[in-house]
Chain A
Amino acid sequence: MGLERLTGSALCGFAKLITGVRATWRDNAPDARQRVYFANHRSHGDFLLIWASLPPALRQSTRPVAGADYWLTDRLRRYIAERVFRGVLIDRSAASRQADPVAQMSAALAAGDSLIVFPEGTRNLGDGLLPFKSGIYHLARANPAVEFVPVWIENLGRVMPKGSYVPVPLLCSLSFGGALQWQAGEAKTDFLARARTALLDLAPALD
Chain B
Amino acid sequence: MNLSETLVAVFGGVFAVLAAASLVGAVLKFRLAPATPHAVIDNLNARLKAWWVMIGLIALAIWAGDGGVIGLFAFISFQCLREFVSLTHTRRGDHRALLWSFFVLLPLQYYLIAIGWYGLFSILIPVYGFLLLPISAALGSDTTRFLERAAKVQWGLMICVYCLSHVPALLTLQIPGYEGKGALLIVFLVLVVQSSDVFQYVWGKLCGRHKLNPAVSPSKTVEGLLGGVASSTAVGAAMWWITPFSPLQAAAVALVVNVLGFFGGFVLSAIKRDRGVKDWGSLIEGHGGMLDRVDSISFSAPVFFHIVRYWWVP
- Residues of chain A lying within 8 A (CB to CB) of residue B83: 171
- Residues of chain B lying within 8 A (CB to CB) of residue A164: 95
Contact check: which of B78, B103, B282 meets A22 at CB < 8 Å? B282
- Residues of chain B lying within 8 A (CB to CB) of residue A172: 86
* Residue positions of B touching A, CB distance < 8 A: 78, 82-83, 85-86, 89-90, 92, 95, 98-99, 102-103, 276, 281-283
* Residue positions of A touching B, CB distance < 8 A: 20, 22, 125, 155, 158, 161, 164, 166, 168-172, 204-207
On whether the beta carbons of B95 and A206 are closer than 8 Å, the reply is no
**Given A155-B86, A206-B89, A207-B89: A171 and B281 interface contact (C-beta under 8 Å):** yes
On whether the beta carbons of B276 and A205 are closer than 8 Å, the reply is yes
- Residues of chain A lying within 8 A (CB to CB) of residue B89: 206-207
On whether the beta carbons of B82 and A161 are closer than 8 Å, the reply is no
20 sampled A-B residue pairs with Cβ under 8 A = A20-B82, A20-B281, A20-B283, A22-B282, A125-B92, A155-B86, A158-B92, A164-B95, A168-B95, A168-B99, A168-B102, A169-B78, A169-B82, A169-B102, A170-B85, A170-B86, A171-B82, A171-B83, A171-B86, A204-B276
Tell me the bound Cα distance from A168 to B83 in angstroms. Answer: 12
The B interface is mostly helix, strand or loop, or mixed, namely: helix
Whole-angstrom distance from the CB of A91 to the nearest CB of chain B?
30
- Residues of chain B lying within 8 A (CB to CB) of residue A169: 78, 82, 102
Tell me the bound Cα distance from A169 to B89 in angstroms. Answer: 15
- Residues of chain B lying within 8 A (CB to CB) of residue A20: 82, 281, 283
Tell me the bound Cα distance from A18 to B77 in angstroms. Answer: 16
- Residue of A166, A171, A207 with most partner-chain B CB within 10 A: A171
Whole-angstrom distance from the CB of A49 to the nearest CB of chain B?
14
**Given A22-B282, A206-B89, A207-B89: A170 and B99 interface contact (C-beta under 8 Å):** no
- Residues of chain A lying within 8 A (CB to CB) of residue B86: 155, 170-172
User: What would 18 more interface pairs be, CB under 8 Å, given A125-B92, A166-B99?
Assistant: A20-B281, A20-B283, A22-B282, A155-B86, A158-B90, A158-B95, A161-B95, A168-B95, A168-B98, A168-B102, A169-B82, A170-B86, A171-B82, A171-B281, A172-B86, A204-B276, A205-B276, A206-B89
Tell me the bound Cα distance from A30 to B92 in angstroms. Answer: 32
Tell me the bound Cα distance from A205 to B282 in angstroms. Answer: 20
- Residues of chain A lying within 8 A (CB to CB) of residue B98: 168
- Residues of chain A lying within 8 A (CB to CB) of residue B78: 169
